[in-house]
Chain A
Amino acid sequence: QSALTQPPSVSGSLGQSVTISCTGTSSDVGSYSRVSWYQQPPGTAPKLIIYEVSNRPSGVPDRFSGSKSGNTASLTISGLQAEDEADYYCSSYTSSGTYVIFGGGTKLTVL
């Protein structure tokens, strides 16, 4: 598998909630709790927002939450704000031999 599967785009209105899925296999997401999520506003570097499936680094609002079920991890953003508009990437350790696998990215549009 060359990449974790994410929807290319999602959208939501201000104040609403959106969920971005990240589907892998039993070689990565399904077997390890080493899923992380990154936020990348246009023209900037990725920023860690979730690590080890559901943990938030210091300074990341609690509007961002992560979970996992089977081979699919999810990022939920509640109370959408305009500044949440960005690309979001998931990542996981993989036992397939390539060590790290990223998702293809999801563009979040805040309406």
Chain B
Amino acid sequence: QVQLQESGPRLVKSSETLSLTCAVSGYSLTTGYYWGWIRQPPGRGLEWIGSIFHSGSTYYSPPLKSRVTISVDTSKNQVSLRLSSVTAADTAVYYCARVNYYGSGSNWRPNWFDPWGQGILVTVSS
């Protein structure tokens, strides 16, 4: 049974960098699939941040691309997210999820997200 668990600081100061880790158990990252981050501001909808393959291949949401770095550590079987220059608008529950996908390069197409981690609320303070 695949399980994902997000961890990291729950309070980040404005203009600093948000850093989170997603530990994956029950499934080796090197087996396949992309692994993604999705966030949800309080009381609002879902927003895809980006996804990564165990090889390091990444795809990012264009509006966030300049501030986002997603990395993978296959030895620890975990995926990490870094979001720089945060503001109050980055306050959200951050989820990691396994990504079913099709294709590669310019033909990469994410299909669905399953399973999801329980999420972690990160608050940006001024």
From A44, A57, A93, A105, contact of B45 by CB (8 A): A105
Asked if B111 contacts A45 (CB within 8 A), the reply is no
| B108 and A46 contacting across the interface, CB-CB below 8 Å | no
Total A-B contacts with CB atoms under 8 angstroms apart: 66
Q: Is the CB of A48 within 8 A of B114?
A: yes
For chain B, residues 24 to 45, give those with C-beta under 8 angstroms from any C-beta of chain A.
45
The yes or no answer to A98 lying at the interface (CB within 8 A) is: yes
Cβ–Cβ < 8 Å partners of A105 in chain B? 45-46
Which of B109, B111, B114 counts the most chain A CB atoms within 10 A? Answer: B111
> Complex formed: what's the CA distance from A38 to B119 in Å?
15
Q: What CA separation (Å) do A99 and B64 show in the bound complex?
A: 13
Decide if A102 touches B111 in the complex (CB within 8 Å): no
Knowing A51-B100, A98-B61, A98-B62 touch, does A91 contact B112 (C-beta < 8 A)?
yes
The secondary-structure label for the interface of chain B is: strand
Chain B residue numbers with a CB within 8 Å of A34 are 102, 109-112
B47 at the interface (CB under 8 A from A): yes
Tell me if A99 and B46 are in contact (CB < 8 A): no
Enumerate chain A residues within 8 angstroms of B117, measured Cβ to Cβ: 45
Chain B's closest residue to A96 (CB) is: B62
CB atoms of A57 and B114 under 8 A apart: yes
Q: Which residue of B lies closest to A104 (CB)?
A: B45
| B47 / chain A contacts, CB cutoff of 8 Å | 102
Measured between alpha carbons, how far is A3 from B63 in the docked complex, in Å? Answer: 14
Q: B112: which of A51, A97, A99, A104 is its contact (CB, 8 Å)?
A: A51
CB distance from B18 to the nearest CB of A (A): 19
Within 8 A of B (CB), among A46-101: 46-48, 51-52, 57, 89, 91, 93, 97-100
Name B113's closest neighbour in chain A (CB-CB).
A48
Please name all residues of chain A whose beta carbon is closer than 8 Å to the beta carbon of B62 when the two chains form the complex. 97-98
What 4 pairs between A and B have smallest CB-CB spacing?
Answer: A48-B114, A100-B48, A36-B112, A51-B112
Contacts from A to B (Cβ < 8 Å):
3, 32, 34, 36, 38, 44-48, 51-52, 57, 89, 91, 93, 97-100, 102-105
B residues lining the A interface (CB < 8 Å):
45-48, 59, 61-63, 95, 100, 102, 108-119
